[in-house]
Amino acid sequence: MAASRTLSTFRLLPLPTIPEIIKLFRLQAVKQLSQNLLLDLRLTDKIVRKAGSLTNAYVYEVGPGPGGITRSILNAGVAELLVVEKDSQFIPGLQMLSDAAPGKLRIVHGDVLTFKIERAFPESLKRQWKDDLPNVHIIGNLPFSVSTPLIITWLENVSYRNGPSAYGRTQMTFQKEVAERLTASTGSKQRSRLSITAQYLCDVQHILTIPGQAFIPKPEVDSGVVPFTPLTQPRIEQPFRLVERVVQNAFQFRRKYCHRGLGMLFSEARRLESTGKLLRLADVDPTLRPTQLSVLHFKSLCDAYRKMCDEDPHHFAYNFREELKQKSEKRG
Ligand code: SAM
């Protein structure tokens, strides 16, 4: 009890402001690493509050940069904060933060795309999937260049319960450009592969919009804060790779009727017949556009596709790009 009171009242030792740190270490935004920085600590506090209570939590921050969000996380009374930053220019400033928060901040100079978070925190934090949420969070103002592959990988981890999800239903809160795409509802223009993949595995909400001018340099689009809470029971109970295949193909031609993209799941010779069978089994109207398909529609499509793949495993091995390539080679 006494320990938790000490932790929750933790404050950082006095530090230069983020703009002073930028000046001191002559930091410069690198476009290739999508460095759109947040310097306003009131805003970073607000973002961090949206992640819920972080008291005594173990937090993994992706791309801390000069450390704005990092400070807000430390001030939220966490047990430990682990940050992974690729750009070496930010490491001395982060080291300064670490000195001001003894024993709280672990800095890894590395790449989030390869970092293994499942081994980073104590085993004792692990919870069963259906139990309460573990006190482990991922937070990040995601670098634009890697945000989509990163989110897809973490969603795959939710599905297979590995990576950050090895601790149980680890919550993730991201600051992401085009946050609307993650939370877009059926029929919305922003509906995409990312919306379906996020929404069949997690509860996702767009809870705060951050205008472009809050960042230095200003990005082209506004962004939003989106917390993800993994569901105890996914809305589609099929292997992640199968769902991904169906969703990716459905959105192949996003302005056309859905049968057009879904047809690409099947070899050209049997496309018409197999697509018809898939849509009949799933009871989905072939003239709906991909953006009009609900998660429930995708559930029916995935279940029907699974049935067809069980009957004929060639379906799952088929790749229309490979077929096109072979054809053009023959012609060549
Ligand atoms: N969190 C800081 C803020 O809000 O001001 C910086 C956010 S900036 C959008 C993205 C950060 O991620 C940058 O510091 C960048 O160097 C870092 N970054 C980009 N790609 C990375 C990668 N693959 N692994 C680790 N960090 C990366």
CATH 3.40.50.150 residue ranges of the chain are 2-230
Mean pLDDT across 149-169: 97
What distance in Å separates the CA atoms of residue 4 and residue 39, rounded to the nearest whole number?
29
Mean pLDDT across 104-130: 96
As a whole number, the mean pLDDT across the chain is 93
What distance in Å separates the CA atoms of residue 6 and residue 4, rounded to the nearest whole number?
5
CATH architecture assigned to 240-331: Orthogonal Bundle (1.10)
Strands 105-109 and 80-85, how do they pair?
A: parallel
Please choose, from the candidates 68, 85, 89, 82, the residue with its C-alpha nearest in 3D space to the C-alpha of residue 175. 68
Q: Which has more pLDDT, 12 or 244?
A: 244
Helix residue spans in 184-239 (DSSP H): 193-201
Domain 2-230 classification at class level = alpha beta
Residues of the binding site for S-adenosyl-L-methionine: 36, 38, 63, 85, 111, 141
Centroid of ligand 1 to alpha carbon of 66 (angstroms): 9
Are the CB atoms for 281 and 304 separated by under 8 Å?
yes
- Over its C-alpha atoms, the chain yields an Rg (Å, rounded) of 22
Helix residue spans in the chain (DSSP H): 2-8, 18-24, 41-49, 68-75, 91-100, 144-160, 179-183, 193-201, 240-250, 258-262, 271-282, 295-311, 314-317, 320-331
Provide ipTM, 2 decimals: 0.99
Q: Is ligand 1 within 6 A of the CB of residue 64?
A: yes
Q: Which has more pLDDT, 117 or 23?
A: 117
Residues of the binding site: 36, 38, 63, 85, 111, 141
pLDDT at site 178: 73
pLDDT at site 2: 40
Instruction: Tell me the per-residue pLDDT of 229-260, one tens digit each, with 9 for 90 and over.
Output: 999 999 999 999 999 999 999 999 999 999 99
Rounded to two decimals, the pTM is 0.91
CATH 1.10.8.100 residue ranges of the chain are 240-331
Q: What are phi and psi of 83, to 5 degrees?
A: -115, 140
Q: Which of 18, 28, 35 most suits a substitution to test ligand 1, by most atoms within 8 Å of the C-beta? A: 35
Instruction: Tell me the per-residue pLDDT of 283-327, one tens digit each, with 9 for 90 and over.
Output: 999 999 999 999 999 999 999 999 999 999 999 999 988 888 888
Q: Between the CA of residue 88 and those of 27, 107, 110, 144, what are the distances in Å?
A: 10, 11, 9, 19
pLDDT at site 3: 43
The two tokens of residue 61 are: 């921050």
